[in-house]
Chain A
Amino acid sequence: MRSAVLYPSVIAQEGEDQDVPSRLTSTKMDNATEETNTNGTADVSDSPEADQDTPESSGLPEPTLPPKPFEPVFTVKVTDAAKDGEVVKYTLKTTKIKSDSEEYKVVRLYEDFEWLEHCLITQNDIAGIIVPPLPPKPSTTAQSAEARSKKQLGNDIKLVVGDEFEKDCRSLEKYLYLVVTHPILGQDESITKFLTVREAPTRAKLKKSIFSNLSKAVGEARKGGHKDVNEFFQKERDTVNEVSVQMKEAKENFMKIVYGEQRVAVGLSHLSTALHLGGQLQEGADVVVNKLFTQFSEGLEDAKQGLEVMAVNDENTLGFSLDLYSRYLEAEKEMLYRRTCKMMEFEAASKAVEKAKPQKREMAVAARDKAEKEFEDISKAAEKELKNFHHQRVLTFQDSLVRHADAKIKAARDTYALLTKCVTALKTLDTSFKPL
């Protein structure tokens, strides 16, 4: 009975489903923007076109019909993670939103996800897109489990933390959701194939070059400080630099709380066990004291369970969002960086025009015009992306915070109820004994 009361609810998943329809309904409704259900958020523009752009508009716009709002085609759930040796196999269940009967079930490895990301990035013009971040590869080895346990529980607690498959499933699920609901990426063939075709797409070996990451970082450092022509973007860049660091720190500190809760739970468990083990002597006062201890130990178990439930819920609610956005903000930074690069190209091209000798001038002007267009395109795309991104971020955090508080309240209430029972049992315990 005790365990039944305190099952942690898997909270994060529910949010996904709710978000999808709400985005859908708001975009379906008279081309209204997604922002209609908010109350005057400061940084979201009210321009009706904000989410109306479809992939078609950047290529061949349909001349007769008004631009259709993007509607995600699929809903995806990552239902299972099964370990096969050292490899983890994820089961994905996909349904088409428009027709519930069309269901797909596939099995994918993490490497398949990596390939998907690669395809999405290379087959689309992702310049102005904030690319949803793929969660890091889950560790599956015994050593990593041990290392993780040491990190979470500390060196003095000799327990091994279990594999976090549940968490991994949800992270991957969220990733797929972000891709599927993205106006541009959601239309990519790669994601459709990834979700619906039984066999995993063939992968080419991905060379993860250390150098490319390094040179990127160096480049960012150098160009990142370059002043922007646009105030909105300058502010955005400044803010994201600040916030991405803060978000990371908040996430780290939050996880420390979760680990701290787990450690206290272990402490309570040890004490509870020690109390239980006392009962060898069964005479005189010891009988009563042992009864007290047994009841006390049960009460401590209740407290421990309450904490464990809180830890799980914390991780699933606020912890999940903090983790996601720590990575997502990096993606935003990267997008802004790409734009900054384009801006600098444009500036360089403009200067080149001024300095160009007459015969080269026409070429220079053409180059500059091209750079200008690219820069404008990326800025336009970026602006839209940013607005969506922030709006989604606010909604996500709202959802997480509400769930977080709800979960805490429920766990605390349940724990309180169990403790009350324990105290009543203690108070009514017969403490008479036969003095020896």
Chain B
Amino acid sequence: MADDREPPPLFDDEKPDKKEEEDDLFATPNEAPKEEVKDEPASLPTEPVQDKASEDLFAADDDLFGAQNMQEDSAAPPQLEVVDEPPPEMDISGEGEEVDLDSPETEGPSSPAKMEPDSDSSPLEAPPMAEVLPPAKPVTEEKPKPTPAPRKPSMEKSKEEVGYTSFAQIEEEESGDQFALDIKVHDPGKIGDGMGAYMSYKVTTQTSIPAFRRPSMTVTRRFSDFLGLHEKLSQKHVHIGRIVPPAPEKSVVGMTKIKMSKEDTSSTEFVEKRRALLERFLQRISIHPVLQMDPDFRDFLEQDELPRATSTSAVSGAGVLRLIKGVGDTLSKVTIKMDESDQWFEEKQNQVEALDQQLKKLHASVEALVTYRKELGISTAAFAKSTAMLSNSEEHTALSRALSQLAEVEEKIEQVHLEQADNDFFLLSELLKDYIGIIQAIRIVFHERVKSFHNWQNAQQTLAKKREAEAKFKQTGKTDKIAHAQEEIREWEGKVEKGREDFEEISKTIRTEIRRFETNRVKDFRNIIIKYMETLMNSQQQLIKYWEGFLPEAKAIA
């Protein structure tokens, strides 16, 4: 643990703030603590639900979500996440240390109890907290109230400063009583036969969040249910700037194989790939402070029966609408240009695009590596067979025995190669793919902001027109129309104001989301890279073991 010390205090000048934040942070169960919890006994929950022999895969899947399995990882990265989540809907977010407000806000009703002691120490936060918490859950769809503009600069500043302090604090204290949401997808099973067949998956949730009916539950879901969940979350959250984890990919080829009852390795791989993907999808939602409290998400995890999500099919009415909307969006992306007044957004968009390029290149490299390794496994198996044949023909007993042993060793090494190829794939390749998908979600959110800006501009233009019209009526003396015109002006003034607020709101939300994304990215990549390197080490160890076992046999030949 000592390995992962946060950098030395950069926040010496902020002691008073720090203290308050510190307290609040401890009271904030969701963010940091969640990561902590996953740190130590994280390995425990992985065990029961493995379908596949290779434990690496499961452990890896957990880790993808910021749950550091590795004991040594004290939650240095997680603190970044904790700090930066102001849920935009909260009125509070406009005030003071919005950073700290986020976490508690997202917990739900139980938080107030914990918050009380803290509220003493942080006068700014205390009153808002109490109000905020209850609405935290159901609020997700609501439009945020206008945030007082002048606060913003200070907010931004404090956010950043707080950032450092909180990391250090959380790392030092790592308290145990935190809210966790631990989700597993397991036991894929085929239901039905023929073209109507489908895979069902069990989804088990362990949670200490009181909003859930029970601390532990298991439900059965099918793929379209996951798509339905994504659909619902997207509709509610994307247009206000939240990055919703991308929907799991459909695969006609994969599913057709399943339907056709092909029980070969590729279909087993496909099922495992999908299971892991669905798990990561849910886990990414669960670490989002706002999305995790979404009632649709909760229903997904809790409800025994869900209404069939028929609108997710590509050919359904909703599917066609989506298609049309998608086309419309693409067109608007081309036609709507926005004068970016905020340098931050322009830079971020460039950065995101550059990241996309990089990830795609890496993904291609990893895919090649997986292929080569699998081929090496196959070659090893072929050699093992040749060696076994030589062993059979060999008349010299000791040499024959050694050759036979060699054949066995080579077979075991084939397994080492294949397992490593799996690790190459499930750890690296899927991670990169996930992030490429998330970047797509980010692009969507940026685009929503552009649309919001466009709306605002349109409203302004319409207002201007209405004002012109009113002026004209005044000129031409059409007094009967003036009243109506003035009504319209007021209406449009309201719309302009709303448009501006919406735009600013989405801008702010996006900033937060991007920060959260960055934090998660650092965490995910760090964890996966370390995990992957450890699998490489493990492969070497296995090689050592097998060859050391063989050596005496070889020496005993003559």
A residues with a Cβ closer than 8 A to B are: 37-39, 41-43, 156, 239, 242-243, 246-247, 249-250, 253-254, 256-257, 259-261, 263-264, 266-268, 270-271, 274-275, 277-278, 280-281, 283-286, 288-289, 292-293, 295-296, 299, 303, 306, 390, 394-395, 397-398, 401-402, 404-406, 408-409, 412-413, 415-416, 419-420, 422-424, 426-436
Contacts and interface: CB of A to CB of B under 8 A. Distances in A.
B534 A41 contact: no
A295 B13 CA distance: 33
Contact of B76 (A156, A256, A431): A431
B533 A422 contact: yes
A247 B361 CA distance: 42
Given A285-B519, A432-B164, A274 B529 contact: no
Contacts of A390: 395-396
Given A239-B395, A394-B399, A409-B544, A434 B4 contact: no
A436 B344 contact: yes
A431 B529 contact: no
B518 A284 contact: yes
B379 interface: yes
Contact of B540 (A271, A274, A306): A306
Interface string B358-384: 100110011011011101100110110
Contact of B366 (A271, A419, A430): A271
Interface of B: 3-4, 6-7, 70, 72-73, 76-77, 80, 83-84, 159-160, 163-164, 167, 344, 347-348, 351, 354-355, 358, 361-362, 365-366, 368-369, 371-373, 375-376, 379-380, 382-383, 385-387, 389-390, 393-399, 402, 406, 515, 518-519, 521-523, 525-526, 529-530, 533-534, 536-537, 540-541, 543-544, 547-548, 550-551, 554-555, 557-558
B547 A405 contact: yes
B386 A426 contact: no
24 contacts: A239-B395, A246-B389, A256-B382, A260-B376, A264-B369, A275-B362, A281-B355, A285-B518, A296-B529, A306-B540, A390-B396, A395-B558, A397-B557, A398-B402, A398-B554, A405-B548, A405-B551, A412-B543, A416-B544, A431-B4, A432-B7, A432-B167, A435-B515, A436-B515
B393 A243 contact: yes
A423 B537 contact: yes
Nearest to A38: B558
Nearest to A258: B379
Contacts of A254: 383, 386
User: Closest 3 A-B residue pairs measured CB to CB?
Assistant: A260-B376, A285-B518, A250-B386
B24 to A, nearest CB: 18
A299 B518 contact: no
Q: Specify which of A41, A267, A416 lies most central, judged by the most chain B CB atoms within 10 Å of its CB.
A: A267
B544 A413 contact: yes
Contacts of A42: 395-397
Given A257-B380, A285-B522, 14 more contacts: A43-B396, A243-B390, A257-B376, A270-B368, A271-B365, A274-B365, A288-B522, A295-B529, A394-B398, A394-B557, A408-B543, A409-B544, A416-B541, A426-B533
Given A270-B368, A419-B537, A433-B522, A408 B393 contact: no
Contacts of B354: 280-281
Contacts of A278: 358, 362
Given A427-B530, A430-B7, A431-B526, A246 B393 contact: yes
A397 B537 contact: no
A292 B518 contact: no
Given A264-B372, A398-B558, A432-B6, A409 B547 contact: yes
A369 to B, nearest CB: 34
Given A246-B386, A263-B372, A292 B529 contact: yes
A435 B554 contact: no
Nearest to B386: A250
A261 B375 CA distance: 9
Contact of A253 (B163, B379, B533): B379
Contacts of B371: 267
B440 to A, nearest CB: 19
A289 B393 contact: no
B548 A286 contact: no
A406 B551 contact: yes
Nearest to B354: A281
A246 B362 CA distance: 41
A63 B509 CA distance: 108
